[in-house]
């Protein structure tokens, strides 16, 4: 199986005020346009066995309170640490506010990245930092050249969200198929 249209895709999100869910729905819509149905689920509703049935798993996480982890994700850290993601392709998206919290922009995405790597995930969907203005982030590479997943800022750059989601899903499709064929 190497075509995205044959892939079983899930999107797992956690949210405090709904933005990460809204963006998740936009991501799912883009996949639907490609003929791919995505199963969307809140992290509070799954256990670590959930991932077994999927080839590509998207995970969405917002950052709260000066670099804090969204609480449903934090409370369910074991779901990730107990999961076997070997052979799975994983892509993250993070929500944050680069102006209001520019020293902690998308930190929680870095937290999640560290954990999924520990349990064998193959990452796709890294995203350039060009076009964002922030001081520091644990959600990007040390040289600040790329984020560990799609960076969405509904507070400062909401007008860019749709185009970013569209470009990211196209990127994911290409990376998924290239990795699956390798
Ligand atoms: C009190 C408060 C603290 C926040 N802390 C951070 C932060 O440390 N880093 C960041 O990037 N964004 C921070 N944000 C921005 C949120 O992550 C952003 O609004 C996000 O869209 C919320 O997603 P949700 O609705 O899915 O919970 C904060 C927002 C508020 C109101």
Ligand 1-lining residues (CB < 6 angstroms): 15-20, 62-67, 95-97, 101, 104-107, 154-155
Q: CATH top-level class for 4-177?
A: alpha beta
Q: How many Å lie between the centroid of ligand 1 and the Cα of residue 138? A: 14
pLDDT, tens digit, for every residue of 152-168? 999 999 999 999 999 99
* pLDDT surpasses 70 at 1: no
pLDDT, tens digit, for every residue of 99-137? 999 999 999 999 999 999 999 999 999 999 999 999 999
Which among 21, 27, 96 is the best mutation to test ligand 1's pocket, defined by most ligand atoms within 8 Å of the CB? 96
- Residues in Cβ contact with 178 at an 8 Å cutoff, skipping those fewer than 6 apart: none
Q: What are phi and psi of 99, to 5 degrees?
A: -90, -45
Nearest to 109 by CA among 76, 81, 151, 146: 151
Going from N- to C-terminal start, the domains of the chain cover: 4-177
């Amino acid at each position: 199986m190497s075509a995205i249209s044959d892939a079983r895709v899930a999107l797992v999100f956690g949210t405090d005020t709904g933005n990460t869910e809204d963006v998740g729905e936009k991501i799912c819509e883009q996949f639907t346009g490609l003929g791919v149905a995505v199963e969307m689920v809140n992290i509070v509703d799954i256990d670590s066995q959930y991932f077994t049935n999927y080839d590509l798993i998207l995970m969405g996480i917002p950052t709260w309170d000066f670099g804090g982890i969204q609480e449903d994700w934090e409370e369910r850290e074991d779901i990730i640490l107990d999961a076997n993601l070997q052979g799975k392709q994983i892509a993250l998206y993070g929500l944050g506010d680069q102006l209001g919290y520019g020293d902690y922009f998308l930190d929680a995405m870095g937290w999640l990245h560290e954990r999924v790597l520990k349990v064998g995930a193959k990452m796709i969907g890294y995203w350039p930092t060009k076009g964002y203005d922030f001081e520091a982030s644990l959600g990007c590479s040390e040289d600040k050249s790329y984020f560990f997943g799609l960076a969405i800022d509904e507070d400062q750059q909401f007008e860019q969200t749709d185009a970013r989601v569209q470009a990211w899903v196209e990127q994911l499709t290409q990376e998924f198929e290239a990795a699956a064929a390798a």
